[in-house]
């Protein structure tokens, strides 16, 4: 198969054009597996539904871990000049398509086993696909497929903790003096925000600060009862005492019920590795500035980095400020340039 730039764009368009909301990725996985097989990979869906393809049988594994799922919300598929619109074009089917294209163009390399994974449920705060890989691989190098822009790599991601707040109490008249369930929930949010601000004192960089947000809130009478539910999110810095937070939160909650899920510790990789050096050289070879980033979100780097303890970074085309937005789109010129960077960086690791 002649895999030129036109074919690389077709791969991206078909993958983005196949919906794959977290938990319902099978159709897109089949597309990725078919393209990888056509490019010479040994490819199939694994035990949890990840798209997995390998090239080469060397003793050293380079694992390129993207994710194939997306958040909900339809972005109409269209192309306007070099801009291609669609849900997942940036987060993160653009990076995953670049992985498949770059490895497919390189083919088998001496000494390396190149493995591309389109993982499931990264957006669902379960990272089910990445967790399935943990005891099945021990790679020498890992590239996470997330948008960094073609001329930068990402070396760190903040952690995350989700808090579910539930309060149900007897309904009272709004003209009375009793505090409503919604007002009590709002007081909890104010206490949580103030606690975060106190811990953030003197810290200027977003990566080092605790960043709270309200993800969902519902407040409505249910027959004889007044009920409020909130889901809150904390984006966590490298230094965070979870036990200290939970003790404080229990004190603010009163008779509300609290539960926790989706916890990931922050992770920051070293910039002084052969992997990072290979990317710096490859980006400069393409005329880029070779920048490094840390992100306030999370990725599968938070899951696999602490376990595999190998050189790791995240790379991929796309502007991450467009993640999850109604305007999500990727510049195809950047996408093709990222493929060239990946080819160069992987070749340098091989040699």
How far from 248 is each of 186, 258, 259, 265, 284, CA to CA, in Å?
Answer: 16, 12, 14, 19, 48
Helix axis angle, 93-106 relative to 5-16, nearest 10°?
140
Examine the residue annotation and report whether 255 is marked as an active-site residue of this protein.
no
DSSP per position, 135-184: TT---SEEEEE----TTEEEEEE-EEEEEEEEEEEE---TTSSSPPHHHH
Examine the residue annotation and report whether 69 is marked as an active-site residue of this protein.
yes
Q: How far apart are CA 47 and CA 92, in angstroms?
A: 21
What is the Cα Rg of the chain in Å?
Answer: 22
- Token pair 């078919």 in the structure block, residue: 34
Given the residues 25, 69, 140, 146, select the one marked as catalytic: 69
Given the residues 61, 91, 122, 123, select the one marked as catalytic: 122
Tokens for 281, please give them. 């050289």
Whether cis (ω within 30° of 0) applies to the bond prior to 92 is yes
Catalytic residues: 69, 122
């Amino acid at each position: 198969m002649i895999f030129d730039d036109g074919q690389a764009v077709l791969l991206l368009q078909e993958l983005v054009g196949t919906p794959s909301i977290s938990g319902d990725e099978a159709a897109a996985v089949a597309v990725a597996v078919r393209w990888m097989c056509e490019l010479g990979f040994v490819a199939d869906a694994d035990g949890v539904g990840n798209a997995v393809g390998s090239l080469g049988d060397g003793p050293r594994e380079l694992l390129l871990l993207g994710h194939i799922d997306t958040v909900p919300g339809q972005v109409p598929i269209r192309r306007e000049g070099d801009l291609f619109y669609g849900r997942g074009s940036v987060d993160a089917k653009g990076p995953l398509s670049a992985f498949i294209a770059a490895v497919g163009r390189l083919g088998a390399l001496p000494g390396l086993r190149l493995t591309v994974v389109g993982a499931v449920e990264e957006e669902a705060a379960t990272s089910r696909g990445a967790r399935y890989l943990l005891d099945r691989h021990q790679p020498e190098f890992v590239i996470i497929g997330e948008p960094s822009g073609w001329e930068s790599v990402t070396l760190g991601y903040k952690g995350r903790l989700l808090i579910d707040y539930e309060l149900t109490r007897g309904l009272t008249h709004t003209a009375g003096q009793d505090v409503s369930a919604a007002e009590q929930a709002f007081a909890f949010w104010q206490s949580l925000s103030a606690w975060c601000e106190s811990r953030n004192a003197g810290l200027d960089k977003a990566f080092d600060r605790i960043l709270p947000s309200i993800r969902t809130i519902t407040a409505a009478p249910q027959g004889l009862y007044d009920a409020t539910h909130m889901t809150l999110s904390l984006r966590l810095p490298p230094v965070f005492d979870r036990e200290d937070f939970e003790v404080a939160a229990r004190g603010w909650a009163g008779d509300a019920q609290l539960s926790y899920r989706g916890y990931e510790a922050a992770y920051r990789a070293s910039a002084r590795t052969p992997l990072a050096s290979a990317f710096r050289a490859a980006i400069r070879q393409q005329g880029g500035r070779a920048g490094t980033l840390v992100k306030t979100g999370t990725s599968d780097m938070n899951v696999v980095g602490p376990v595999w303890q190998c050189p790791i970074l995240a790379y991929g085309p796309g502007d991450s400020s467009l993640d999850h937005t109604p305007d999500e789109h990727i510049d195809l010129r950047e996408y093709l340039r990222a493929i060239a960077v990946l080819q160069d960086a992987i070749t340098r690791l091989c040699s």
